[in-house]
Amino acid sequence: MDQAQPHTAATLTGDLRALGVVPGDVLLVHSSVKSLGFVAGGVQAVVEALLSAVGAGGTLVVPTHTSENTDPAGWQNPPVPEHWWPAIRSEAPGFDPARSPSRWVGVLPEAVRTWPGALRSSHPQVSCAALGVRAPEVTAEHALTDSHGERSPIGAVYRLGGKVLLLGCGHDSNTSLHLAERSQASPPMGETGAAIRDADGTSRWATWTDLVTGEDDFDQVGAAFEETGAVAVGRVGSATARLMDQRSLVDFAVDWMARNRHSVDVDVAGA
């Protein structure tokens, strides 16, 4: 490690402000905390820096996905024996916003999810957590059949004129591009399932039809968007960070996908 000095919540806040984060922002963050280098106070300091950057009137939003809460019939990483499937479907504890930890989205979302005052949306697979004045609006609606659409936190960030921050990660992690997928004229749809916890504390397996997502071309979409000059690129800590207006990104991606997607291999979430 060749850092001259450790990064701190204060220096990270300064980096975020220099990048273009301003008080009052609704900021959707995708992150690789380890890319920041050594931070005094670790992930807690990173959350404090983000909250300081958006200020008392701002809102921090993170994905708190639970990718293991999907139909085991589609699992590939790794697959499980078919004779296990009925037990997994019947015995898995249903998704609970307060209890179910996020998975495969990094340490920052878990820190935000468990932060005092955090709210979390109700989707059993692709929930989001939020802190700040607009958190109730961001998390209030998350329709089961509209995981990444208008009736989701991603859609709420769009309506609120929010920004996307890629903190040490690329556009392949840019969940807002799924909103562009959902906005296509005829998006691919398929059946999915998850364990859901009802108000009485019991769990049940539910199935529904939703968007079949495909991230294979997200890096291409992001690169094309960056060529327009609409993305601020800079350093936050030791990480390369990208900041962009989410509405501009999504509108660009809707058009890009309509012109360039003809046959895209889709990646159905699995545990």
- What pLDDT is stored for residue 262 in this prediction? 73
Q: What is the pLDDT of residues 154-188, one digit of tens each?
A: 999 999 999 999 999 999 999 999 999 999 999 99
Reference 23, options 45, 43, 46, 50; nearest CA is 50
Taking the C-alpha atoms of residue 61 and residue 164, their distance in angstroms, rounded to an integer, is: 9
Q: Mean per-residue pLDDT for 186-196?
A: 95
**CA distances for 71 relative to 44, 124, 131, angstroms:** 34, 12, 30
Handedness of CA 236, 241, 245, 247 (dihedral sign): negative
Two structure tokens written together for 91: 């015995």
**Residue 210, CA atoms < 13 Å, CB-side half-sphere:** 28
Taking the C-alpha atoms of residue 47 and residue 60, their distance in angstroms, rounded to an integer, is: 9
- What pLDDT is stored for residue 3 in this prediction? 86
Q: What is the pLDDT of residues 111-130, one digit of tens each?
A: 999 999 999 999 999 999 99
- What pLDDT is stored for residue 77 in this prediction? 85
Which residues in 142-227 belong to E strands, given as ranges?
A: 163-167, 189-197, 203-211
Taking the C-alpha atoms of residue 170 and residue 30, their distance in angstroms, rounded to an integer, is: 9
Taking the C-alpha atoms of residue 248 and residue 162, their distance in angstroms, rounded to an integer, is: 10
Res. 92: pLDDT tops 80: yes
Res. 86: pLDDT tops 50: yes
Name the residue type at position 36.
L
Q: Where are the domains of the chain?
A: 9-260
Residue % of the chain over a pLDDT of 90:
93
Q: Mean per-residue pLDDT for 128-135?
A: 98
Kindly report the backbone phi and psi dihedral angles of residue 219, in degrees, each rounded to the nearest multiple of 5, phi listed first: -65, -35
Q: What is the pLDDT of residues 23-61, one digit of tens each?
A: 999 999 999 999 999 999 999 999 999 999 999 999 999
- What pLDDT is stored for residue 42 in this prediction? 98
Res. 264: pLDDT tops 80: no
Kindly report the backbone phi and psi dihedral angles of residue 14, in degrees, each rounded to the nearest multiple of 5, phi listed first: -60, -40
Kindly report the CA angle at 243 between 148 and 155, in degrees rounded to 5?
20
Average pLDDT, the chain: 95
**pTM for the full predicted model:** 0.94
Reference 227, options 213, 244, 247; nearest CA is 244
Which position has the higher pLDDT, 267 or 251? 251
- What pLDDT is stored for residue 1 in this prediction? 60
